[in-house]
A and B are shown apart, each in its own frame.
Chain A
Amino acid sequence: MATITIPNFVAGQTTDADTVASDFYDAANATGSFEVINGNLDLTNLPTGDLTREMIQPGALTGAGGTSGTANLDYFRSLFESPPTTAVGEETIGPDQDAVDDNKGRYLAIPGASKSFYLPYVADAIFTWTIMWGNDANSPTGFSGTLLRLFVDGVPVNEQVRTVATTHFTEAPMTTHAAFMLQRGRYWSGHHAVTGLTPGHHSVSIRIFGAAGTQGGPKQSRVWARSMRYFYFMQPPE
Chain B
Amino acid sequence: MAEINYTPIAPGDATTAASLNTPFQAGVAGVNALEPYALRPGALRADHLPSVANILGTTVVGEDFLAHGNYTKQWDSLAPNNDLTDWDIVADSTGKQLSLTWTPFRLGMDVAVHRYAAILVLVNVHYLSSTENVIPTQGISDAVISVQFRQPGAGATWWTLNRATRLCSQRAHRPTLPDPVNERTYQDIPIRALITKDDLVQFGGGGTHAIDGVRVVVAGNDIINAPPVPLVMLREGRLTVLRIRSGGLPT
Residues of A within 8 A of B (CB): 3-6, 8-13, 23, 34, 36-58, 60-62, 90-94, 97, 120-121, 124, 126, 128, 141-142, 158-159, 161-163, 165, 169, 181, 183-184, 186-191, 193, 195, 233-236
Contact = CB atoms under 8 A, between A and B. Distances in A.
Contacts of A34: 27, 31
Contacts of B171: 183
Given A34-B31, A53-B250, A57-B42, A92 B36 contact: no
A190 B63 CA distance: 14
A61 B145 CA distance: 33
Contacts of B63: 158-159
B188 interface: yes
B134 to A, nearest CB: 20
B203 interface: no
22 contacts: A9-B21, A38-B47, A39-B46, A41-B31, A42-B247, A42-B248, A43-B111, A46-B39, A48-B36, A51-B39, A51-B250, A55-B44, A60-B45, A61-B46, A92-B65, A94-B65, A126-B122, A126-B242, A169-B173, A183-B171, A189-B189, A235-B54
B238 A45 contact: no
Closest 3 CB pairs of A and B: A49-B36, A159-B63, A183-B173
Interface stretch (B150-158, B178-186, B224-232): B178-186
A45 B31 contact: yes
A219 B181 CA distance: 22
Contacts of B16: 11
A214 to B, nearest CB: 16
B122 A128 contact: yes
Most buried by B among A40, A90, A159: A159
A97 B236 CA distance: 15
Nearest to B250: A50
Given A45-B31, A53-B250, 7 more contacts: A34-B27, A41-B34, A60-B46, A126-B55, A126-B242, A193-B58, A234-B52
B68 to A, nearest CB: 11
A45 to B, nearest CB: 5
Contact of A193 (B45, B173, B236, B240): B240
B236 A61 contact: no
Most buried by B among A10, A184, A186: A184
A56 B42 contact: yes
B163 interface: no
A233 B53 contact: yes
A195 to B, nearest CB: 5
B17 A11 contact: yes
Contact of A51 (B41, B44, B66): B44
Interface of B: 16-17, 20-21, 24-25, 27-28, 31-36, 39-55, 58, 60, 63-66, 111, 122, 124, 171-173, 181-182, 184-190, 236, 238, 240, 242, 247-251
B51 A236 contact: yes
Contacts, number: 183
B108 to A, nearest CB: 14
Contacts of A49: 35-36
Contact of B248 (A9, A51, A126): A51
B51 A234 contact: yes
A183 B185 contact: yes
B3 to A, nearest CB: 14
Contacts of B187: 186-187
Contact of B17 (A10, A124, A169): A10
Contact of B124 (A9, A94, A190): A190
Contacts of B190: 128, 189-191
B39 A233 contact: no
Contacts of A9: 17, 20-21
B51 A51 contact: no
A36 B20 CA distance: 20
B36 to A, nearest CB: 4
Most buried by A among B32, B39, B49: B49
A178 to B, nearest CB: 15
B80 to A, nearest CB: 29
Contacts of A56: 42, 44-45, 49
B17 A39 contact: no
Given A9-B17, A56-B44, A142-B182, A233 B122 contact: no
B31 A36 contact: yes
